[in-house]
Structure formats: structure tokens, C-alpha cells
Amino acid sequence: MSTRRYFQILGITPTKNLKVIKRAYRKMAMKYHPDRNPSAAAKDKFIAVNEAYERILLAIERGEQPQRRTKQSTRSRTTQQQTTQRRHTQRTTTKSSRTAEEVREEKMKQARKRYEQRKRYEAAENERYYKSLTTGKLWRRFKIIMFTCTFLSLLISMDLYLFPSHLMMNQISKQNTQIGYSGAGNLPTSPVQFENGQKAWITIDFIDLSQKNYLYLERSLFFKEIKSVKIWRNFEWRSYVPDYSLVSTYPLIPAILMFPLITFLIKGRTFTFSIFFQISYKFMPFFLLGFLISNDRWAHVISLGIL
């Protein structure tokens, strides 16, 4: 039987990707396992699936290993082939004296034994992988990332909605109304820079009003985030929450920062935990770094909100 036919038995196209091959084998083996499907057709299919998997792995292994043809290796292979042929003849003679059902049961027994061996091997591999994630330096580094992200997530929420705000008079020092995007309520917004150096996206109407009226910035206590831009006009306050800011996108940023904590809480020997761990360990540090650099938040953290 050709190797392509073995791939057809597993229900996949020919490939050298071992992960794809193993995944297809596990799926088919579970489907036709005698404990799940006791029918005679399922038994034959289970035997064929195990044979196909073994033949595919053998073909890949032979293709990856270089063949060094020497006279000694040629004689050795010839001897092995003769020995294999004699054993095959002996097995054929023995099988001929048995019924077809007995032969099939013997094949099923061997296939089931090999399946259980592979299952135990994969379980041991998964256990080693799980321990490599949850022990040693890797796990300690992950916990540092988790505690830092969780602390910042809680601090952001408290800073925006629990700590008192500070109102300061300010004015727009730079503006660029040629750049405009649709903000909250589909109102055109543009980037501006205030006299204290902070930047924000506010509506063009507010930019025009700021030229004739007093403008105030409502800022958070710790990170000094602009919670709203206020204008005193006609004896009443008019305010606008800057677009694309930490306030207008809340709770998106705190929720992302809680991702490592969620990973810690679902800790277990599961595929989900493995994926969450890799995301938290490899990508969250870059997200955390970008968050702290933006708007000089790192300086506020170091100075405990004084600067």
C-alpha cells in the first residue's frame, strides 16, 4: 500500500507535519476504538488506522535519515531481509491454521496495545511540558508579569473612578484640524496639545470654543490622565471625554492587563492554559512596556503619582 493511501485512511493530505499527523491519528483512533465502537467494521478500521500511523511515521523517519550505502551495510540489509522473510513465512504458515476471526482478534489486540502505549507516552510528554511551564524560572517570571499587570489594572480603575480628580486651567498650544476622524457620536475630532504638554483628541467644536472661553482639564490623581475637557460657557459647564483615551476605551486596557491573572486561575493540564500562558509570557511584557511608555506613565508609577 502506498504512503498516500495511509494518509487517506487518517483523513488528511500527505504532509510531514507530525502535529497534524498525530492529531488526525488521535481523532480516528478515538472514533473507532473498540471501547467506543464495538462493531466489526470499527475493529477493522481501528487496525487500519494504527497500521497507517506506524507506516507514515516509518516513511518520514526513513526520509529524514541519510542513507550511507556501503558494502557492509548492504550485506547487513540483505541478511535482515532474509531473516524478515523467513519470519514472515513462519507467521503466514501459523496464521493459515487459524480462522480469520482469530487473526483479526490478534491484530486488534496488538493495535490496542500500541494505542495504549502511545497514549501513555503522550500523557507523560504532556506532564513534562506542564511541569516545565509551572516550575522554575519560567513560572517565577510569569508570576512577576501577572502581579505587575494585575496591580496596574486595579490601579487604573481606582485612579479613574475611585480617587479624586484634579481640575486645572489650561489652553491649547498646538492643533491640527486638517487631521480628523470620527469620534464619539460620529463627531469630527482632531489631535491637540495643551500647554502642559499633554495630548488628546477632542471635537473641532471644542477646539473653536476654547479660543473664546476658559478651558479646564479634569485629570486623574495618579496617572494624570485627562478624564474630560471642560469649558465654562454661559454660566454652565460643557465637557467632553477625549477620544482614543484611557477613559473613553475603559475597561478595555484593564481587561487586557487582567489576562495573566485569568491564565493563573485556569492553571491546569489543558490546551487552553498552554495557549494563555504563551500569550501572557511572550506578548504581555511588550503590551505592558507600551502602556508604561505612553504618556510617561512609567514616571508616575516610579514617583507614586507625584510627578
Per the structure block, which three cell numbers stand in for 212? Answer: 473664546
Residue 98: the pLDDT is 62
Res 22 pLDDT > 50: yes
Distance CA 123, CA 245 (A): 47
Residue 75, number of CB atoms within 10 A of its CB: 10
Looking up cell 454652565 gives 236
Res 78 pLDDT > 70: no
The fraction of the chain above a pLDDT of 90, given in percent, is 24
Strand segments (E) across the chain: 166-170, 172-175, 181-182, 188-194, 199-203, 214-219, 226-233, 236-240
Q: Average pLDDT for residues 13-24, to the nearest whole number?
A: 84
pLDDT-based confidence at 149, cuts 50/70/90? Answer: very high
93 φ, ψ (degrees, to nearest 5): -65, -40
Which residues 6+ apart lie within 8 Å of 70 measured at CB? none
Range among 88-97, 169-178, 270-279 with highest mean pLDDT value = 270-279
Range among 31-35, 222-226, 238-242 with highest mean pLDDT value = 222-226
Distance CA 101, CA 99 (A): 5
Q: Which residues pair with 82 in a beta bridge?
A: none
Q: Which residues pair with 193 in a beta bridge?
A: 174, 199
Residue 52: the pLDDT is 82
| Average pLDDT value over all residues in the chain | 81
Per the structure block, which three cell numbers stand in for 236? Answer: 454652565
Cα first-last separation, the chain:
75
Q: Average pLDDT for residues 16-28, to the nearest whole number?
A: 83
- Neighbouring C-alpha atoms within 13 Å toward the C-beta of 290: 8
On whether the CB atoms of residues 220 and 165 are closer than 8 A, the answer is yes
On whether the CB atoms of residues 28 and 20 are closer than 8 A, the answer is no
Residue 202: the pLDDT is 87
pLDDT in tens, 239-261: 888 888 889 889 999 999 999 99
Give the CA distances from residue 168 to residues 86, 108, 120, 162, in Å, rounded to whole numbers and listed in that order. Answer: 95, 81, 67, 19
Distance CA 213, CA 277 (A): 52
Residue 283: the pLDDT is 94
Distance CA 85, CA 75 (A): 15
CA 22 to chain centre: 20
Give the CA distances from residue 269 to residues 27, 115, 145, 224, 273, in Å, rounded to whole numbers and listed in that order. Answer: 19, 21, 21, 42, 7
Per the structure block, which three cell numbers stand in for 247? Answer: 477613559
CATH 1.10.287.110 range(s) for the chain read 3-62+98-128
Which residues 6+ apart lie within 8 Å of 166 measured at CB? 218, 219, 220, 221
Q: Is the pTM of this model over 0.75?
A: no
Which 8-state DSSP code applies to residue 252? H
pLDDT-based confidence at 89, cuts 50/70/90? Answer: low
Greater model confidence, 3 or 263 = 263
The top-level CATH class assigned to 3-62+98-128 is mainly alpha
Per the structure block, which three cell numbers stand in for 275? Answer: 495557549
Res 199 pLDDT > 50: yes
pLDDT in tens, 41-57: 777 788 888 888 888 88
CA nearest to 108, candidates 51, 56, 162:
51
Residue 140: the pLDDT is 93
Per the structure block, which three cell numbers stand in for 48? Answer: 487500519
